[in-house]
Structure 1
Amino acid sequence: MRILNYMNLYSHPVQLSFLKDRTDEFVEVYHAHQGMELLYVHEGNSQVIVNQQIVKLAPGCLFFFRPFQLHRIQLKLGPGSRYIRSLFVFEPSKLDEYLAPFASLRSFFHRLWKEPLEQAQVFEGLPQEAFLSLFDSYRERIANTQPELQLEEEMLFLISLLHQLKPFEAPQQRKDPLQLRSSSIAERVMGWVEQHYMDEFDLRQLADDIHLTPNHVSAAFRQKAGTSITEYLTARRIRQACWLLKMSDLSIQEVGQAIGLTNSSYFCNLFKKHVGLSPNRYRHSVG
C-alpha cells in the first residue's frame, strides 16, 4: 500500500479536478499533499481520518486539508451509489499573493491555512446548486483559456470559491471542554500514536494507557478506522520521515531513529516500499 502521495506543485502551483467519478478507481490510502487541498463531495458518503479525528462526509460537504497533513478517505457507499467529488490542490503561498487586495477574504484563508484548529476541518450543508454552478462555470473557462492565462483563471476560481465559502464559516469560538464529545476508541488510539510514534511500538502499553485490552483496542480501531493500528502508525512515521528528510540535516539513520525505527536497513526498506523512493533519493528529489 502506497502511504504518501505528494502531488508535485513545483512545475505548476495549482491542480484542479472537477466532478470526478472515483467510484471504480478509488483506493483507500494514507496520503498527504505538498499543497493545500479542498475536497468537495457531490455524490456518495465517506469518512475522513485526519488530525486524530474521524469525520463523516456527505454530499454538500467541503473538507480542507493543510499542506503535508496526513489523511485517509474511506467510502461508505450503498448499492448503486456513486462517489463523485471535486478536488483542488494548490500552493497556499501563491494564492496568498493573489488575495493581497482582499483583506477579509485573506484573513479567512489564513484561518483555514495555518491558525490553530478549534473545530473539524469541514463545511457541511453547503448549497449544492450554487457550488455546482461555480464549478461548471470555471471548469469551462479554464479549459478554454490560453496557457499563459491559465494560472490567473485558476486563481480567480479559488478566490471565488473562498468568497462563496466564507459565509458558512462557523463562529470562531473555542468550545468548553466539558461540552466536547467523548473521543472514540479509534481517536484515542490516534492521539496516543501522535504522542508515541517516535518510540518503539508496544501494543500492551497502548492498551494500558487507554484502559482496554490489546485485543479489544486492535479490533475496535480496525472496525472504526478500516485499517490496523500498525498501518496507521507506519503512515504517521513515514509522513514525519518525509518532513525530516526535506527540512532537517539529520542523517538517514538519525531520521529513522527519530521516528522509532532504530534499524536503518529496515527503515530504508519500509520507506521505499511506501514512498517509492529510497530516503536518500527522496531527500534530493525536486517534488
Structure 2
Amino acid sequence: MKLHIAYDHPIAINAFEWTPATYRQPPHVHASLEIGLCLTGKGYFFFGNKQYAANPGDLFLVNNEERHIAQSAPDDPSRYLFINFDPALLLAEEPSLLLPFSYRSTHFCNHIMSGSPLANQLTPWVLAIAEELQEQSPGYLVMAKSALIQLCGHLLRHYNGLLTDDERHHMVHSVRQAHSLAALVEHRYHEPVNLGELADELGLSVSRVSRAFLETTGYRFSEYVSLLRVQAAKRELAGTDKAVSDIAFECGFQSLPTFYRVFKENVGMSPIRYRHSGGMTE
C-alpha cells in the first residue's frame, strides 16, 4: 500500500506521534523519507523480511522504496515520534545528504540502537524538529529545516564510512544524475517538459536517468514535475489575486481540469479552497 503524504506546514516536513497496533498491520510505502524515534514502550519494526526489536531511544531509518510497519508489544505498547520529509528538500540543499536513504533493503540495517553514538547524535535533532513545528515560534521553518540538515549530515558521515568504494561510487553517481535532472526541471517546469529531451541534454539514457531519479527521490519524473507546478501554484494562490486559470497556465498546466485534479491530489483541497484558507492546509 502506497500512502500519500500531505504536509502540514509551508515546508515539506511533518512531525507526529503514533502508537502502532498490537497486531501486525499491512506494510506501506511512501515517497517521503522518514526517521522514527521510539519514545516509550516496546514492540517490533518490520522492513520487508527484516524484523527489529524496538525499545525506548531506538531510531529507525525509512527510505522511499522499502515497505515497512511497526507493531506494539501487547503488554507495553510503543509510542513513536516520526519525522517525515520530502527528499526534494535535501536534493535542492545538498544532494549528498540523500546518500543514507539510497540504500537497497537487503544490505542495510534500518535500526539505530538506543545509547549508540549515532543515536546520541541524532535524537536531539529529531526532538528539535518536532519542537519547532509544534511551537511555531518566529523563524520556525528555517530552524526546522536547519535541524533536519544537521540530522542528515550526521547520518551521511556515519553511513559513508560503511560503504564500499563501488557502492559509494554508484550511489553518488545516481544522486548527481538525479540532481542534474531536477535542476533542469526546476528551471522549466512552467513549460512543456519532456524527459527524453532533458535526458539527451544531459547525455544520459531515459531509462538510466529515470531510474536514478526514482531511486534518489522516490518520485517518477512526471510526479516531480507536477509537484513543482503545484508548489508554484500554492505560492501564487496565497500571495496574489491572479485568476486561478491564469495561475494554472503560468505554472505549466495544460488544462484547468488537470490543474484542479493534480492540485487536489497533492494538497487535499481545491485551489479555490486553498486560497480562501489563506494558504493553510487542514
Compute the TM-score of the two structures, normalised by the length of structure 1. 0.51
Task: Kindly provide the amino acid, as one letter, of the partner of residue 95 in structure 1.
Answer: S
Q: 2:209 maps to which residue?
A: 217
Verify: 1:7 aligned to 2:8, yes or no.
Answer: yes
1:7 is aligned with what amino acid?
D
CA contact (8 A) 1:46 1:77 kept: no
Structure 1 runs not aligned, ≥5 long? 10-14, 32-37, 59-72, 98-108, 127-180
Task: Supply the distance in 1 between the matched residues of 2:107 and 2:219 (Cα, whole angstroms).
Answer: 22
CA distance in 1, matches of 2:61, 2:251: 34
CA shift for structure 1 position 262: 3.0
| Alignment match, 1:50 | 88
Could you list the per-position Cα deviations for residues 108-149 of structure 1 after superposition, in whole angstroms to 9, with x for gaps in the alignment? x8974689xxx87734169xxxxxxxxxxxxxxxxxxxxxxx
Change (3 A) 1:80 1:6: closer
Q: How many residues align?
A: 195
Aligned residue number for residue 88 of structure 1? 130
Structure 1 residue 252: Cα displacement = 1.0
Aligned to 2:117: none
**Greater share of residues in helix:** 2
| Matched-pair contact (CA < 8 Å) for 1:55–1:120 | no
Is it true that 1:122 corresponds to 2:188 in the alignment?
no
Q: 1:284, CA displacement in angstroms?
A: 1.1
Alpha-carbon spacing, 1:21–1:198, altered in 2? closer, same or farther (3 Å): farther
Q: Pick closer, same or farther for the CA change 1:251–1:209 going to 2, 3 Å.
A: same
Mapped to 2, the partners of 1:271 and 1:197 lie a distance apart of 15
CA deviation digits over 1:141-177, x for unaligned, max 9? xxxxxxxxxxxxxxxxxxxxxxxxxxxxxxxxxxxxx
**TM-aligned CA deviation for residue 219 of structure 1:** 3.0
Instruction: Supply the AA of the counterpart residue of 2:87.
Output: I
Q: Which residue of 258, 261, 265 corresponds with 2:257?
A: 265
Query: In 2, Cα distance between the equivalents of 1:214 and 1:230?
Result: 13
Q: 1:239 to 1:2 in 2, by over 3 A?
A: farther
The residue type paired with residue 29 of structure 1 is A
Counterpart code for 1:44: F
Moved more, 194-203 or 21-30: 21-30
Shift of 1:261: 0.7
Residue 250 of structure 1 aligns to a residue in which SS?
Answer: coil
After TM superposition, list the pairs within 5 Å mapping 1:14-163 onto structure 2.
Answer: 17=16, 27-29=29-31, 42-47=58-63, 49-51=87-89, 52=91, 53=95, 55-56=97-98, 77-78=105-106, 88=130, 90=132, 94-96=136-138, 112=143, 122-124=152-154
Per the TM alignment, residue 45 of structure 1 is displaced from its structure 2 partner at its CA by 3.2
Identity rate, percent: 20
1:267 Cα deviation from its structure 2 partner: 0.8
C-alpha distance after superposition, 1:244-280 (max 9, x if no partner): 2112222111221122113122211221233221111
Name the residue aligned to 2:193: 201
Residues 178 and 216, structure 2, Cα contact 8 Å, conserved in 1: yes
Assess if the C-alpha contact under 8 Å between 2:264 and 2:271 holds in 1: yes
Bigger RCO of structures 1 and 2 (CA < 8 A, at least 6 apart) = 1
SS state of the match for residue 130, structure 2?
Answer: strand
Residues 245 and 211 (structure 1), Cα distance of their counterparts in 2 relative to 1, 3 Å cut: same
Who is 2:243 aligned against? 251
Q: What is the RMSD computed on CA atoms of the aligned residues?
A: 4.6
Q: Give the SS at the match of 1:212.
A: coil
Q: 1:233 aligns with which of 201, 225, 236?
A: 225
Tell me the distance in 2 between the aligned counterparts of 1:250 and 1:25. Answer: 43
What is the rounded CA distance, in whole Å, between the counterparts of 1:282 and 1:249 in structure 2?
Answer: 13
